[in-house]
Amino acid sequence: MPKVTYIEAGGASHDIDVAEGENVMRGAVYNGVEGIVGECGGGLACATCHCYVDEEWTGAVGGPSSQDEEDMLDSVAAERRPESRLSCQIVVTDALDGLVVHLPDHQY
């Protein structure tokens, strides 16, 4: 199972096994990782799963997956950065084993 590392704004780190085909948001929510809310359940309607993809992984993950994600990123509560993504839109694959995402200090 691919492993994703979630790093909270305060520095706490969580290494979570996330099933292939699942998204990064659910990996956090199902495992109680603080910092990703996922209020809409991954419906691309709230932006409370905003994360920053570690610079070593931005090429593998790529940019926003759709215009809808791009539009939602315009409404994130924390600072939007070039490495900003909605974690509900990042589908975990074996190629993303070791992925590191940083969580913003707030989602609202």
What's the pLDDT score for residue 72?
96
Burial class (CB in 10 A: 0-12, 13-18, 19+), 79: exposed
Q: What is the pLDDT of residues 54-96, one digit of tens each?
A: 999 999 998 888 999 999 999 999 999 999 999 999 999 999 9
Q: Where are the domains of the chain?
A: 3-102
Contact criterion met (CB below 8 Å) for 37 and 63: no
**Architecture of the CATH domain 3-102:** Roll (3.10)
User: pTM for this structure?
Assistant: 0.96
For β-strands 3-7 and 99-102, DSSP reports them as: parallel
Measured CA to CA, the distance from residue 108 to residue 98 in angstroms comes to: 28
What's the pLDDT score for residue 101?
98
